[in-house]
Structure 1
Amino acid sequence: MKVIGIEIDKKRAICMVLSKDEQNNYVNLTGTNKYVEIKDDQNNHDIQVFAEKIHDFFDSIQPDHIAIITRQTKGKFAAAAVSFKLEALIQCYSKTPMSFVSKQTLTAYYKKNELPIVYDNAYQENATRLAAYLLR
């Protein structure tokens, strides 16, 4: 089973692709596509390029499941509007089931469980936690 965990942070979708091998070890399949970024969310061409890039990435991986970390919609710590635009473009991918997981769920899970794989860059931590959570 291949899964993609996605954290949307500002103008980029940070992705982590994980699977398990025959020995039940976690395998990082992300490669060089660690995130997809949009330049200008007001530019129609840039919106289309982002959608094409992220959907091509999904097609190249052929995941069994994709999940996105939820963000606050209102209040003092509400996410930026552009992040919801990116989320909608990601959700337009119809070839794979998609779900949402809250940061609170991940925090509770990792209080009792260790992260079973090392990530390459600090900004990948939440996406890695999500992908590993999906494979538990």
Structure 2
Amino acid sequence: MTDESCGCEISAQEVRLAVVDLDDEGKVEMLRPKTTRIELEDDTSEADLRSFMAALDEFARENEVGTFAIKTRAKKGRMAGGAVSFKIETLIQLTEGCHTRFVNPVALSNFAKKEVKEYPEKLPVYLKNAFLSGAYTLSKG
């Protein structure tokens, strides 16, 4: 695996993925993999869990991902993540050959306001938080 970072935003039954790297000038650039979402069809099905895991492993290999960066979600309260999303989080953490870092939402918001001068051209709205998580991880080491 290499230095590519993959920002992850977990929403409902899917993970949204944005692969970022540093260009020759040290600026964050977003790569354009063909896969940007992986969905977990049925979290009670062992076959679906294994399929999701295999898709993550393949994604990490194809895109030379060294680190997955996940925006931290609340475990309880009104804004808490659901049980399925925490299963997805666990599967990301178990991806062979990759590290996982968690990014605090407040730190991510501050990073976006203070350090992100511009977003990549044609960045889909659904990948904005995933991009920020990956960029934060690369920038903050």
TM-score for both structures, normalised by structure 1: 0.90
Is contact 2:9-2:17 (8 Å) kept?
yes
The answer to whether the 8 A contact 1:11-1:83 is kept is yes
Q: Which runs of 4+ in 1 moved over 6 A?
A: none
Report which stretch shifted further, 1-10 or 17-26.
17-26
Instruction: Name the residue aligned to 1:76.
Output: 78
RMSD between superposed Cα atoms in Å: 1.6
The question of whether the paired residues in 2 share the 8 Å contact of 1:2 and 1:19 is answered with: yes
What residue in structure 1 maps to residue 56 of structure 2?
54
**TM-fit CA distance, 1:15:** 0.6
Which letter does structure 1 place at the counterpart of 2:33?
A: G
Q: Work out whether residues 66 and 97 of structure 2, in 8 Å CA contact, stay in contact via their aligned partners in 1.
A: no
Q: Which residue of 1 aligns with 2:131?
A: 128
The total of aligned residue pairs comes to 136
Question: Offset of 1:84 from its aligned partner?
Answer: 0.4
Structure 1 stretches lacking a partner, 5+ long: none
Q: CA deviation at 1:27?
A: 2.7
Q: Which amino acid aligns with 2:88?
A: L
DSSP-derived class of the 1:135 partner? helix
Identical residues among aligned pairs (%): 29
Unaligned runs of 5+ in 2: none
* CA distance in 2 between partners of 1:64 and 1:47 (Å): 22
